[in-house]
Structure 1
Amino acid sequence: MNVVVVESPAKAKTINKYLGKDFTVLASYGHIRDLPSKDGSVKPEEDFAMDYQNDAKSAKHIKAIADALNGAENLYLATDPDREGEAIAWHVLKVMEDKKKIKDTKVSRVVFNEITKKAVLDGIANPRELDMNLVNAQQARRALDYLVGFTLSPVLWRKLPGAKSAGRVQSVALRLICERELEIEAFKPEEYWTIDADFLTGKGSSITARLTHAEGQKLEKFSMPNADVTKAIADKVRAGSFSVDTVTKKPARRNPAMPFTTSTLQQEASRKLGFGAKRTMMVAQKLYEGFDIGGETTGLITYMRTDGVSLAMEAIHGCRDVIAKEYGEEYVPASPRMYKTKSKNAQEAHEAIRPTDLSRTPKEMARFLDQEHLRLYELIWKRTVASQMESAQLERTTIDFTDGTGNILRATGSVVRFAGFLKLYEEGQDDADDEKDGKRLPAVKEGEAVTTEDVREDQHFTEPAPRYSEASLVKKLEELGIGRPSTYASIISVLQDREYVKLDQKRFIPEDKGQLVTAFLSSFFTRYVEYDFTAQLEERLDDISDAKVDWKQVLRDFWNDFSIAVEGTSELRITDVLEELNRVLGPHVFPPREDGTDPRACPKCDEGRLGLKTGRFGAFIGCTNYPECRYTRQLGTSGDDDGSSEIDDGPKELGLDPDTGLMITLRKGPYGPYLQLGEAEPKKKPKRVSIPKDIPLEDVDFEIAVQLMALPRQIGPHPESGSMITAGLGRYGPYVECDKKYGRLTSGMEVLTVGMNRAVELLASAKTRGGAGRAAPPLRVVGAHPEDGADINVKDGRYGPYVTHGGINATIPKTSDPMTITLEDAVTLLAERAAKSGKKPKLAGKTAAKKTTAAKKAPAKKAPAKKPAAKKTTAAKKPAASKTTAKKAPAKKAAASKSASGSDA
């Protein structure tokens, strides 16, 4: 019997069909073990020993593989053909060795770049050994990411409240987005003008040309800086009589783009299909794993994580056959186009992403694929075929018009003489790279007189570089050599999950917390967010793959300097941090005012200046004259745009509450405006209600204030149960509630107007929460917490899904799917929540120990007649407990030693 281990169950099912009954193909479902998400999993003091732990979710997959290996002759490790796949194969082998399942079984590593019968059979027929250079490169990357995350994130939590985490590559990507935003804010537009003229030829054709020379002087971009200068020149153009001076025609060729790599596929799918990097990779994964084509599951594209741009000869011949058949022999170049990879790591220079069979046209695949997969398949198919087509032949034409006094206007255009690859495909362009060939120009002769129809003076202003889109960010990361193309999707997801950036009209805008984290890291960990440093570290990882450097040496070199940098912040005070952030982010946080006054002058008092401050929920802006002056505002708002200018000088009285007779006032707090009923009394706080963010402050009049103060309000009895339905404002927004079932409302204003029908509809779709004495069952069990082995559960709460363990509850970000959240992400969310709240999780082991002790003591109290026996029993148990403890200590050392030796393998 032969056992084959792949990563994906879909792939396992397909490959099993190809190999037949003598093979058992099983899936590892990705990594079966990883570093536990707790401090100490990587031990620099023990030469970077790494304590791997089997993933709780993988227990059944590990058991299935172990059972299949009983009596097996061969184990084929057929995980994906990259560093990550090599590492997964190694982890599978190590776990099976630990379980003593590898005895007489021969272990081989096989790879195939596509899920087709031929590729799979060729892979099985040509096995190799595990490449430990690739494995160690992945181990080094994992260790670096772990050390940075678990060392730097706690520094952020202590020195910059409200920050969530930092990462080795994600922080650098965040810096790119934040620096672009600061450039845009600091950009000062410059005015310039242009002059265009419309000329009419003798044959009645119209040509538009732009002034390039005025009275013999070549015009630069800012030669006409204002309307007065421009009008004087335009008047002379209007007075002139123009004729054709020169007509220049130059042939030009355009070559097709190379086939797709992971990076270019993500960029092009973003530009042409509107797919994000994550969505692109998910759709490509399914195309790689295959669809049912004619009764057999077949992979439609080659492996989608690659830096390579070369094509196999069979693919090149397939392209040439399709080109000749579909477009004609004239579109087939005399010799095949050969592309070379730009990757420095030859071991990962796989084939480009291409269809497994070029004869499967998008038109033919339309009946097998849904719209999403068909669109991406069509993109890949067209790009691959176009890469082997003949070049496009163009003719670029330039026509100069002159009036004989040195005024010259120029028209440019182009004509496609032979479409070549443009008949099938043209690469999309980013904003800055948009190529303009101009329009096709009519035929004219030199010396031919033309009539001036119109002369236009146009005002322009320079514009800053645009914000990054997913495509342009991926392109920039690749240009800088930061990260790997296969990681770009996860980098972007992390930045959004941590709410460091947001997407607005498909452009990244940094949130204020993202700007704060970037400013902090750039100020106190400068080297580790430098682009060159991060790129050089990527090169060192490639060197590990090429066996040019020892992976432990790379970790030593990094850690020696990094640990010193972290220790250097131990004496750093929060006031020092705020002073530096005020300096770095001053222009961003305190933009110039239109009236020219000091943007940091406190609008409430004459003595204080505004500055960044930190609180439990993050940073805000406050007055340096605190506590005499209590002016505050939220970060990211001005004193005017949130309405605070109306209430900065003190509470604004709205009117007397009709029920209590107390004054309702509108006030400003550090976390936004709120309503207050009456004044504070000794040992008694007044009732306060926050103003929902979607209700404009100027709309909060006495009537609305009374309604908000009266919340929660009763809507009426439920038509089925008879229980009262109420509407109110919770910590995370407006809601309706009945019998401990909650429905979310879409806006703060809706809580004041929602009626019975709408409330019943929302409650019908809501899930019942666990009340006192009855806990709602979890939506799913994520896995065992690495610290005590107790389950981490996903539950649906009043304000959405959350993860829970040991009495700590952490909300799952809206951008994450609660049904697929990983154990690592869940542990991170819980740790961050515990750090913010100051609570310590109740570990299962400690609870059990307390219960056991209590159980042992209880019988002694219940048996007073047998006191001597009870004492004897107690005395006898104490040494036993001590003995048990003594036995456990060596076991821990042995485990640590075993783990250390395993990581050195």
Structure 2
Amino acid sequence: MSRLLIVESPGKIKKLRSILGSGWQVRASVGHIRQLANTGTGNLGFEAKNGQITCSYEPRDDRAKKTIADLKTAAKQADEIFIASDPDREGEVIGWHIAQVLGIKKPKRVVYQEITERAVQQAIAHPKSLDMDLVEAGRCRDCLDKLVGYRGSPLIWRLNNGAKSVGRVQSATLHLICQREREIQVFVPQDYWSVFVEYSEGFKAFYHGSMTGNEPDETTIEDAGSEAKTEESTRVTSQAAADALVEIAQAHPHHILSIEGKITPKKPPAPFTTSALQQAAGSRLKFSPEQTMQVAQKLYETGLITYMRTDSVILSPDYCAAAKKWLEQNDADNVPKKVAKQKGGKQTQEGHEAIRPTDIFKPSAELKQFLPEEQFKLYVLIWTRALASQCKPAQIRKTIVISQSGEVQWKAKGNLVEFKGYSKYWKDIKADTELPTLQPQQSLTLAQADSQQKQTQPPARYSEPKLVQLMEKKGIGRPSTYAPTIKTIKARGYVDLIKGKLQPTQIGMEVDQFMGGALPELLEAEFTAQMESSLDAIAQGNQEWQNYLIDWNRSYFAPALAKALKELPEPTGNYGGKVLQKSRTKCPGCSHPMSKVPSKKVKKKYFLKCENGCTADNGRGLVMFWSDRDKNWQVPQAKSDQPTPPAELTDYPCPACQQKMEIYSYHKDGQTKQMLRCSDPKARSDKKHKNAVYFQSKGRWWSPKYGELE
């Protein structure tokens, strides 16, 4: 009996074959095999009639066509077919497409969270049917995204700045970055002073206020910066006020006013979700979200970790038992009486697990031998985080000391880790000040009193991990979309990654500003998050997807689009009535983006033209053509004023007709070059002579068809 298992990634095939053994074929769809066709009204690939949506699908590309043909051949040879696309909403849609192209009416859906023998064999022994609620949510997402992209993108082409597209998640994410940039641009720094005292007893305290309530020029300036702040005093707004406080500190004796100390437990962190993994790998390993997911995919495919696209913090009972056993054997003091309960998001998918190692006992020294460095580093990160979640809380002794001189109070803080607990594995508690042993009303000896002038800082630009965190917090996108969205806005030229921070380009700022006037709702995080919630409702079977899509277009998108088109100025620069799309290549004359002019006469199907009146050396409009040889855009070289020398007859026979060949001189790329061709002009025009030429190369004659001429 022949069985066929269809997965998404080719990287899983080797591992799965070793698990399944003989009698099984394992084939990969290589992700999505179909997409909405570029047909119908507006090339959307779907039509809405009488409250029903009809979708037309086509292979994604030539590779997908071949994959479909190969899957059909394999399916004909199989007695039983199982579909094991990834265990998420996107995987469910891919599974549906596979079933559709293979004509499987009741596909056997196999779902496993890890590629281990136990998990895979158990999943195959208990196949399910496709979850049509998840499929419909995925199909609705595809239609929504294409509707927004295909109908919204032509609006920004009017900018003539090279902007290419807008998107449902893409535009809202770009808006977060541009919004932060505008906050930075309008930020006005303010001077302030941090006042402090140092005691001979061995600690430092900062100005905390006055007992009279008449604090000299104190401020409640809010530092908009999001980065970690160093300890400092209650802020003082003038040098004079700071000097007055220093004088008070120097003129009056100091003593302890109060000591407050308590031990506070710090709960272990939850195991990794997709978002948390991308954030941690970004901050600790300097991986981009895209790189993190690529490396995690490799670890999943080799059976080392569970599925890496998840919003769940749940761990399987088997793993929890294994983690407890590991701790009992290696760190018995860290075994909790009760494991800390972790809270997941509102829309966490049931049946999913957090990201964890599949075998906690697998020796790291063994893994380090065969895993690439980046895979090993990410695996260790996942291993330590998952184990830490099963440990005891850390115990932190927090101490606050208030001292007094005259009517002025000074504050010192200290944190000591009394018991490391989970932080033995997941180090997230920063080393802090250890305060000496002090007693209430104890006199103190002043060693120094001083102030430091500072400035408030603008809000920091987002790093990629911070942006992922913000997207998750605001409900923009879902775990599978964070990395692709950030990759898209970088590829579009809307943002640049500069010194680890995302900074919008001029094009990105222009697109965001334009969209704010044309379709402002699409930039609002709340609006995008509500759309995601509606898609979640469809996935849970609480909303019908066709009604939602039709109603969303009719009640919001179509009217908003019509209003935007009506209010926007007429586009400038067109070709045959069409708005010309801008290229990222800038005109060598004026440095403005050049327009793409469609042309069937050139291999690239378009050439570039400057629409700002720049001219070439020949006095005509400046244009550029693509050079396959040099892999860049070039201005055509003006023809030489020197006459082309007459052809020189040789004794070499033409390989096509045996007549004598001639040396023909011609100009290319500003240089004079030579070639051998048949001397008979009439003969040169027939098909036999198409490749009957020799080019001069390193002092010899050479032909692509006939080789070197003897």
Which category describes the TM-score, using the shorter chain as reference length? 0.7 to 0.9
Q: How does 1:305-454 map to 2 (within 5 A)?
A: 305-326=309-330, 328-347=331-350, 350-403=352-405, 405-427=406-428, 438-454=432-448
CA contact (8 A) 2:197 2:448 kept: yes
What does residue 208 of structure 1 align with?
A: 204
1:524 deviates by 1.4
Distance 1:248 1:437, change over 3 A: farther
Q: Does 1:54 align with 2:50?
A: no
Q: What code does the residue aligned with 1:360 have?
A: K
Q: Does the aligned pair in 1 maintain the 2:196–2:204 contact within 8 Å?
A: yes
Whether contact under 8 Å (1:197, 1:208) holds in the other structure is: yes
Structure number with the higher helix fraction is 1
Measured against aligned partners, the alpha-carbon deviations of 1:713-752 in whole angstroms (never above 9, x if no partner) come to xxxxxxxxxxxxxxx9x9xxxxx99999xxxxxxxxxxxx
Separation (CA, whole Å) in 2 of partners of 1:490 and 1:774: 43
Cα separation, partners in 2 of 1:268 and 1:35, compared to 1, 3 Å: same
- Going from structure 1 to structure 2, the CA distance change for 1:237 and 1:388 (only over 3 Å counts) comes to same
Shift of 1:27: 1.1
Counterpart secondary structure, 2:384: helix
Quote the Cα distance in structure 1 between the aligned partners of 2:16 and 2:97: 21
- Percent pairwise identity: 34
Q: Retained in 2: the 8 A contact 1:159–1:574? A: no
- Structure ranking higher on relative contact order (CA contacts 8 Å, 6+ apart): 2
Three-state SS of the structure 2 residue aligned to 1:69 is helix
Q: Is the 8 A contact 1:87 1:135 kept in 2?
A: yes
Q: CA RMSD in A?
A: 3.5
1:302 to 2:269 alignment: no
**Residue 236 in 1 paired to residue 248 in 2?**
yes
Q: SS of 1:356's equivalent? A: coil
Whole-Å Cα distance in 1 between the matches of residues 431 and 247 of structure 2?
30
1 CA distance for matches of 2:208 and 2:162? 55
Partners of 1:44 and 1:240 lie apart in 2 by: 82
The residue type paired with residue 339 of structure 1 is Q
1:112 aligns to what?
Answer: 112
For residue 370 of structure 2, give the secondary structure of its aligned residue in structure 1. Answer: coil
Cα separation, partners in 2 of 1:739 and 1:398, compared to 1, 3 Å: farther
Q: Distance in 2 between matches of 1:474 and 1:737?
A: 53
What is the distance in 2 between the residues matched to 1:737 and 1:235?
A: 81
After the TM superposition, which residues 431-830 of structure 1 pair with which residues of structure 2 at under 5 Å, given as runs? Answer: 438-560=432-554, 561-574=556-569, 684=619
**How many Å apart are 1:244 and its aligned residue?**
2.2
Q: Structure 1 161/260 Cα, relative in aligned 2: closer, same or farther at 3 Å?
A: same
User: 1:283-313: per-residue Cα shift (whole Å, max 9, x none)?
Assistant: 00000000xxxxxxxx000000011100001
Partner of 1:85: 91
Q: Secondary structure at the match of 1:354?
A: coil
The answer for the alignment partner of 1:250 in structure 2 is: 262
Q: How big is the shift at 1:158?
A: 3.4
Deviations 1:428-473 (A, max 9, x none): xxxxxxx877411111222322221111111122222211111110
Name the CA shift for 1:182/1:618 in 2 (closer, same or farther; >3 Å): farther
CA distance in 2, matches of 1:564, 1:523: 14
Q: Give the secondary-structure state (helix, strand or coil) at the position aligned to 1:48.
A: strand
Relative to 1, partners in 2 of residues 1:519 and 1:737: Cα closer, same or farther, differing over 3 Å? farther
**Cα deviation digits, residues 777-816 of structure 1 (max 9, x gap):** xxxxxxxxxxxxxxxxxxxxxxxxxxxxxxxxxxxxxxxx
Give 3-state SS (helix, strand or coil) of 1:31's partner: coil
Residue 271 of structure 1 deviates from its aligned partner by 0.4
Going from structure 1 to structure 2, the CA distance change for 1:212 and 1:40 (only over 3 Å counts) comes to: closer
- Which secondary structure does the structure 2 equivalent of 1:188 belong to? coil
Q: Distance in 2 between matches of 1:184 and 1:576?
A: 32
480-489 or 29-38: bigger deviation? 29-38
Farther off after superposition, 272-281 or 312-321: 312-321
Provide the residue aligned with 1:26 in structure 2.
Answer: 27
1:716 matched residue in structure 2: none
Q: Structure 1 671/417 Cα, relative in aligned 2: closer, same or farther at 3 Å?
A: farther
Contact conserved, 2:163 with 2:582, CA < 8 A, in 1?
Answer: no
Contact in 2 for aligned 1:402/1:409 (Cα 8 Å): yes
Pair 1:76 & 2:82 matched: yes
CA distance in 1, matches of 2:672, 2:441: 87
Instruction: Give the partner amino acid of 1:237.
Output: A
Secondary structure in 1 aligned to 2:107?
Answer: strand
What does residue 658 of structure 2 align with?
none
Provide the rounded CA distance (Å) in 2 between the counterparts of 1:737 and 1:52. 50
Task: Tell me the distance in 1 between the aligned counterparts of 2:390 and 2:430.
Answer: 24
Task: Kindly provide the amino acid, as one letter, of the partner of residue 213 in structure 2.
Answer: Q
1:870-881 paired onto structure 2 within 5 Å: none
- Structure 2 counterpart of 1:789: none
Partners of 2:239 and 2:582 in 1: how far apart? 51
Structure 2 distance, partners of 1:82, 1:37, is 26
Question: How far 1:318 moved relative to its partner?
Answer: 1.3
Query: Residue 175 of structure 2 corresponds to which residue in structure 1?
Result: 175
- Once the two structures are overlaid, the 10-residue window that deviates more, 123-132 or 240-249, is 240-249
Deviations 1:36-84 (A, max 9, x none): 3561312235733211012321233223322222253321111111111
Give the letter for the 1:13 counterpart.
K
Matches of 2:537 and 2:305, distance apart in 1: 29
Q: Distance in 1 between matches of 2:206 and 2:247?
A: 15
What is the rounded CA distance, in whole Å, between the counterparts of 1:615 and 1:34 in structure 2?
A: 27
8 Å CA contact 1:191–1:462 kept in 2: the answer is yes
Partners in 2 of 1:573 and 1:82 — Cα distance?
41
Rounded to whole Å, the distance in 1 between the matches of 2:325 and 2:581 is 66
The alpha carbon displacement at 1:229 in A equals: 1.7
3-state SS of paired residue (1:320): helix
Structure 2 length-normalised TM: 0.77
Task: Tell me how far apart the structure 2 counterparts of residues 60 and 247 of structure 1 sit (CA, whole Å).
Answer: 75
Using the alignment, how far apart are the partners of 2:12 and 2:281 within structure 1?
24
Alignment of 1:863-902 (within 5 A): none
Kindly tell me: are residues 617 and 538 of structure 1, through their superposed partners in 2, closer, same or farther at Cα, counting changes over 3 Å? Answer: closer
Secondary structure class of the residue paired with 2:566: coil
Corresponding letter in the other structure for 2:59: N
Distance 2:74 2:621 in 1: 68
- Which residue of structure 2 lines up, in the alignment, with residue 139 of structure 1? 139
Letter in 2 for 1:89: G
Q: Is the 8 A contact 2:259 2:439 kept in 1?
A: yes
User: Deviations along 1:171-220, whole A, 9 cap, x unmatched?
Assistant: 0000000000000111112222121111012xxxx211101123533755
Aligned positions of 1:843-882 closer than 5 A: none
Could you tell me which runs of 5 or more consecutive residues in structure 2 were left unpaired when the two chains were aligned.
221-234, 573-578, 585-589, 594-609, 625-636, 641-667, 675-702, 706-710
Query: How far apart are 1:573 and its partner, in Å?
Result: 4.5
**2: distance between equivalents of 1:541 and 1:228?**
59
CA contact (8 A) 2:157 2:582 kept: no
Q: Give the aligned partner of residue 599 of structure 1.
A: none
* Unaligned segments of structure 1, at least 5 residues: 291-298, 428-434, 578-613, 620-631, 636-668, 690-708, 713-727, 731-735, 741-772, 776-905
2:48 is the alignment partner of 1:44: yes
Alpha-carbon distance between aligned partners in 2 of 1:72 and 1:542, rounded to the nearest angstrom = 36
Contact 1:242 1:401 in 2 (8 A): yes
Matches within 5 A, 1:9-20: 9-20=10-21
Query: How many angstroms apart in 2 are the aligned matches of 1:72 and 1:670?
Result: 60
Instruction: Pick closer, same or farther for the CA change 1:216–1:526 going to 2, 3 Å.
Output: same
**Partners of 2:145 and 2:568 in 1: CA distance:** 26
- In the alignment, the residues of structure 2 paired with residue 355 and residue 687 of structure 1 have an alpha-carbon distance, to the nearest angstrom, of 60
Contact preservation (8 Å) 2:397, 2:418: yes
The count of corresponding residues between Structure 1 and Structure 2 is: 591
Write the distance in 1 (CA, Å) between the matches of 2:94 and 2:619: 60
Taking the aligned partners of 1:774 and 1:50, their CA distance within structure 2 comes to 48
Give the letter aligned to residue 216 of structure 1: T
Q: Matched residue of 2:4: which SS?
A: strand
